[in-house]
Amino acid sequence: MYNFTPYSALTGGIIIGCSVVLYFYTTGRLAGISGIFANALTNKTNRISNLLFLLGLALGPLGYFFVSSAPVKFEITNSYILIIIAGFLVGLGTRMSGGCTSGHGICGISRFSIRSIVATITFIITGVITVFILQQFGIYL
């Protein structure tokens, strides 16, 4: 398998799980990032808390880069048109379905929510099809 990093992936996943536990245990809310992002910008309820969560989401990696000397990898398409279409679809799609990889994929599946299980399977399938089509056009290898 290519580029496969099971140990760091599992470690990171467990740390994310701890964050979800802490957030739920203290605030009583699920740590779904698309919801937190949307609420921070469009809803006055808990706005400061939501903004602080997002700030932490950026500060965590910043601190990690500062402490560790690990190289920061960020490889993404350089097509701004693709980025804009993608961002738009992610915003629209996550709000229509009520969650993203964290809200449905981690929080929802942990709760055995049928909606979240179906949503997660659906977005993985359409993601796989999208990447497959892009590969046929030579955009991804």
Partner 1 sequence: MNEKLFSLLSGIIFGVGLVISGMTNPEKVIGFLSITHNWDASLMFVMGGGILVFAPFFYLMKNKDTSSLGFKINLPQKKDLDKKILIGSSLFGIGWGLVGLCPGPAVSSIALFEPVTFIFLSAMFIGILISKYV
**Residue 45 DSSP symbol:** T
**Residue 31 DSSP symbol:** -
- Which residue's structure tokens are 């740590």? 31
Q: Return the structure tokens found at 10.
A: 């599992």
Q: How far is the CB of 45 from partner 1 (least distance, A)?
A: 10
Q: Does 43 bind partner 1 (CB under 8 A)?
A: no
Going residue by residue from 45 to 64, which x/- string records binding to partner 1, judged by CB under 8 A? ---xxx-xxxxxxxxxxxxx
Q: Return the structure tokens found at 31.
A: 């740590």
Residue numbers 80-99 binding partner 1 by CB under 8 A: 80, 82-98
Q: How far is the CB of 44 from partner 1 (least distance, A)?
A: 15
Q: Does 125 bind partner 1 (CB under 8 A)?
A: yes
Q: Using CB under 8 A, which of 4, 44, 137, 138 touches partner 1?
A: 4
Rounded-to-5 percentages of helix, strand, coil across the chain: 75, 0, 25
Q: Does 137 bind partner 1 (CB under 8 A)?
A: no
Rounded Cα distance between 112 and 110, Å, is 5
Q: How far is the CB of 131 from partner 1 (least distance, A)?
A: 4
